[in-house]
Amino acid sequence: MQSTDLLRELNAKLLAEIAELRKENAKISELKKENAEIPDLKRKQAVEESKRCDVENAELKARIEELEKNKADSSAENVRSDVEFAELKAEFNNAKQSTFRPSSPVSCQKSLEDGKMDVFLDDVDKKRVSNKIRQKNREKKIQRESTVPSNLSLV
C-alpha cells in the first residue's frame, strides 16, 4: 500500500513537472517567433531612416540651389549697381563740365591745394555713395534670405 501511495505521489510530481516543462516549451516557441520578427523590424526601420535621409538631402539640395541662385542674383545686382553708378558719375561729370563753360575766358585758376581738396571730396563722395549702394544690396540680400521657408532652415 505504501508503494502505491508512493507511486501515486511520484506520478503526481511527474505530471506537475511535465506541465511545467510544456509551459516552458510554449514560452520558448513564442520567444523564437519574436526573435524571427526582429530582423524584419530592423530592416523596416533602416528603410524608413533611409527614406527620411533622402527627403532631408533633397530639401538641403533645394536650399543650396536657392542660396546659390540668390548669390548669383546679388552679384548681378552689384554689377548692375556699379554700372549704373559709373553711368551716373559720367553723366554728372559731363553735366558739371557743360554747365561751367563761361562764354568769355576767365582767368580763374584754382590753387594746387583747392584741386587736391576737390579730388579728396570727390573720393569721399564716391566712397559714401558706394557704401550706400553696398548697404542697400546687403539689405536686399538679407531680406531675400529671410524669405527662405522656415522649415528648410530648421533642417
Identify which of 74, 68, 50, 60 has the alpha carbon closest to the alpha carbon of residue 143. Answer: 74
pLDDT at position 12 over 80 = yes
85 pLDDT band, cuts 50/70/90, is confident
Q: Which domain holds residue 91?
A: 2-97+110-153
Ranked by mean pLDDT, which of 76-80, 106-110, 120-124 comes out on top? 120-124
Residue 73 lies in a domain: yes
Residue 140 lies in a domain: yes
Measure the CA–CA gap between 35 and 37, rounded to whole angstroms.
5
- What is the mean pLDDT of the segment spanning 36-56? 91
Residue 41 lies in a domain: yes
* Beta-carbon count within 10 A of 144 CB: 16
By residue count, the chain amounts to 155
Residue 102 lies in a domain: no
State the pTM of this model.
0.37
Identify which of 70, 59, 62 has the alpha carbon closest to the alpha carbon of residue 145. Answer: 70
For the chain, the domain total comes to: 1
